[in-house]
Amino acid sequence: MKYIEFDQSREFDLVLVGRVAIDFNPIDYFKPLDQCETFRKYLGGSPANIAVGMARLGKKIGFFGRVSDDQFGTYVENYFQNEGIDISRIRRCENGEKLGLTFTEILSPEESSILMYRNGIADLQLCVDDIDEEYIKNTKAILISGTALAESPSREAALKAVALAKRNNTKIIFDIDYRAYNWKNKDEIAIYYSRVANESDIILGSREEYDLTESLIEPGRDDRQTATHWFAQGAKIVVIKHGKKGSTAYTYDEKSYSIKPFPVNALKGFGGGDGYASAFLYGLFEGMEMIDCLEMGSAEAAMLVASHGCSADMPSVEAVMEFIRKSKEEHGDMVARA
């Protein structure tokens, strides 16, 4: 059963709204960050990673974003263009704001952390004037990242994109993508997260992220209660992730589909969520069965935690399919099915 219909006449499959950053991952990993001396630079930021992931899977992607007016801004623009991502709605900042810098610490496959530099940040300078209706009319769906809601003027730009998407029957995907930086308190988080979730067709998040979203509505819900609430607001698909325990997609017809992580020799504990979102959404755009969408997402998540980078290591459709085939050959046909 197809749970969501996309307007196939539109040029873009997905336009993303939100964060672009620069990641520095240590080459000399498995030691504390203060002892690391060599790093590799990557394009980063969850929406940017998903944009690259979807483009690598063959989808036509656009992006509303702000970047710094310097060499790193040039790096982002060139990277996106090389991936076939449209940059016509990416603007440079005018007041010296800089791209966020992320230094990752990979202590072990199970223990990773992130050191962020987010003051005077470029991505949060996205403003309402940057969002135009014609671009949103020309895409099947938009994806709003939760970090875009953390601060003005970005939050107003994101809310404008949501309003224009609703007016033009453009599907809305909300990737809750909670990061503690830039938020002032939990009430503020709940207010803006729930506002976008109320308008969304697809919501993706961890149990903890839904708890933040619902803290002013009804704290302490279980997964089924969460899904039921957002279906009442108009959502069609609610995905709730539980890390190493797997994830479940709830659908508006009161069905649910669960998947476990694929077995993999992990290198790091981050990056999997962006791979998951890329491949899961690819499956939806392709009209796959829900369990197959989840299998694609789980497979790509496993591939990303086993790799050193995120954006640079986003796989092709063929690579994901081959990973699934080999995993089933080694571990059994239902290896990831819950």
Per-residue pLDDT of the chain (338 residues; tens, 9 = 90+): 689 999 999 999 999 999 999 999 999 999 999 999 999 999 999 999 999 999 999 999 999 999 999 999 999 999 999 999 999 999 999 999 999 999 999 999 889 999 999 999 999 999 999 999 999 999 999 999 999 999 999 999 999 999 999 999 999 999 999 999 889 999 999 999 999 999 999 999 999 999 999 999 999 999 999 999 999 999 999 999 998 899 999 999 999 999 999 999 999 989 999 999 999 999 999 999 999 999 999 999 999 999 999 999 999 999 999 999 999 999 887 777 77
Contact 212, 198 (CB under 8 A): no
Q: Is 180 helix (H, G, I), strand (E, B) or coil?
A: coil
User: What is the pLDDT, as a whole number, of residue 150?
Assistant: 97
Q: Is 24 helix (H, G, I), strand (E, B) or coil?
A: strand
Long-range contacts of 321-324 (CB under 8 A, 24+ apart): 323/262, 323/299, 324/262, 324/295, 324/296, 324/299
User: What is the pLDDT, as a whole number, of residue 336?
Assistant: 78
User: What is the pLDDT, as a whole number, of residue 175?
Assistant: 98
Q: Give CA separation, 63 vs 126, 138, 177, 186, in Å.
A: 11, 12, 17, 28
Model pTM above 0.85: yes
